[in-house]
A and B are shown apart, each in its own frame.
Chain A
Amino acid sequence: LRSVLESRRLVEELHKKYAGAMYDKCLYMLGDRAEAEDAVQEVFIRAYRLLLASDEPTHFSRRPWLYRIATFICLHMLRTRRRKGTRPIDSADGNQSPVVNQENRTHYRQLLTKLQDSLDERSLAILIAHFIDGMTQAEIAESLGISRRAVVKRLAGLRRRMGEQIESELGHV
């Protein structure tokens, strides 16, 4: 197994390079700066735990891996937020730039929370990667550690199942 020292060094290196990007990604998904900061912290702690438990080589694709971790952490936070009912989702963010479809973002967060009841985590992760992060099928496959064919099939299945709702509501965020 990878040593504690090596894992720490690697996480600190990842944090230095990608923490800002993870913050942007988490802020985009959660719409709240404080929650996004917490999420980023969770991302790197999770990464540290995973590195400690694995002896995978250190030259793996780091950014897709961190995106995958961040997606699942944000989904978890959205679910917790909804369960506790502590924060109205559509009043989440007041600080983001108004230039990029701010209304749609609030709407997509609501929709995402709704979809959590009917979709499994992996399907949600694929939806987020495709519609929110704007990843290509190859990038989604790399990020989620599945084949590109599996991504294509899963997206087609989701389109069939959810009809036009996905395209119309998530397609323009």
Chain B
Amino acid sequence: MSECFGRYKLTGWVLDDLDPDSMRAVGDHLESCEHCHRIVEEIQANMSAYQENDDDHLQALQTAMETVDREQAGRQPARLSGWQIWVPVATAALAIAVILWQVLPQKTDLGIEDDQIQFKGSIGLQVIAQRGQRQFEVWDGQHLEPGDRLRLIVTTPSAGFLTVFSLDSQGRLSALFPGSHPSSQPAPLHLVQPGRHELPDAVQMDNLPGEEALVVFFARESFDRQSVHQRIRSVVSSSDRDEWKRMPRERGGSLIVLRFKKGTSPSQTESGDQQP
């Protein structure tokens, strides 16, 4: 008879969590070893005893995770004390940049006149990029590399509805939040409370080169995403400089556009709802 196995390995066998060779070896051993067989029975009995109240345990865990979320939200300013210094600096730099752009308008690859970009006071967008171990805030016009992961934090003055998408230099829109195509999910993301919302699941940069923009549209009332997307597309192709200002007003919402440049990989572009 082969040597007995430890409880860890036997538990792995019960869970079917071992590689095939180990599963076979443990199974063979159990056929001839009463001692290990009894340990397996005990493990199974304990697991079953716990799983009898599985729903209660899961519910308690979910409540505990919500508590952790609240704790973490409370600690956010302390954890991001560096941001308390950098955010005002970044905001001031951004304001100066906006003024300069207004003085010296230039046509960009996206077909948006620089002085048409709006930074509405009513909603806020903070984009944090993670590159390896390094985190930094993304400013308008910044260069991003393939593989960079973006966290989007949107601040809204009220409950409402949100759609976020990217816009490339060919005028193609890619839905980000909600992530599904507007034709399959016409409803925007419903934010039930005002304040700071971190959008789930980071967006990862692909290696398609060129200029791109993140577009955030927020309205208090629900809207049809596809129609908003089409309207943005028409705004992009329009030569009317005031279109960008008119669009959010006529839709009863607020619009933010954050432009960035991506790496210069020669990969081919593709259409459809892709991540940027």
- State the A residues within 8 Å of B (CB): 1, 3-6, 8, 11-12, 15-21, 23-25, 27-28, 33, 37, 40-41, 44-45, 48-49, 52, 55, 63, 67, 96-97, 99-100, 129, 132-136, 139
Contact = CB atoms under 8 A, between A and B. Distances in A.
Closest 8 CB pairs of A and B: A134-B6, A20-B47, A5-B200, A23-B50, A24-B46, A133-B8, A97-B42, A99-B38
Contacts of B61: 11-12, 15, 41, 44-45
B64 A23 contact: no
A16 B55 CA distance: 10
B157 interface: no
Nearest to B41: A97
B51 A19 contact: yes
Given A52-B72, A134-B9, A96 B42 contact: yes
Interface residues of B, number: 42
A151 to B, nearest CB: 14
Contacts of A99: 38, 41-42
A3 B6 contact: no
B12 A97 contact: no
A135 B202 CA distance: 37
Contacts, number: 116
Nearest to B52: A20
Contact of B8 (A19, A33, A52, A139): A139
Contacts of B7: 25, 28, 132-134
A4 B8 contact: no
B54 A55 contact: no
A52 B42 contact: no
Contact of A134 (B5, B68, B149): B5
A25 B201 contact: no
A25 B11 contact: yes
Given A24-B11, A135-B6, A15 B58 contact: yes
B60 A20 contact: no
Contacts of B9: 134-136, 139
Contact of A97 (B11, B45, B69, B130): B45
A11 B53 CA distance: 18
A105 to B, nearest CB: 11
B77 to A, nearest CB: 16
Contacts of A139: 8-9
Contacts of B5: 134
Interface in B42-78: 42-43, 45-51, 54, 57-58, 60-62, 64-65, 68-69, 72
29 contacts: A3-B198, A4-B69, A4-B200, A6-B201, A16-B54, A19-B50, A19-B51, A20-B46, A20-B51, A24-B43, A24-B46, A24-B50, A25-B7, A45-B65, A48-B64, A48-B65, A48-B68, A55-B149, A96-B42, A97-B41, A97-B42, A99-B42, A129-B8, A133-B7, A133-B8, A135-B6, A135-B9, A136-B6, A136-B9
Interface in B169-201: 198-201
Contacts of A40: 50, 57
B117 interface: no
Contact of A3 (B12, B41, B42, B200): B200
A21 B11 contact: yes
A100 B36 CA distance: 9
A135 B8 contact: yes
B38 A100 contact: yes
A109 to B, nearest CB: 15
A45 B64 contact: yes
Given A19-B50, A24-B46, A41 B200 contact: no
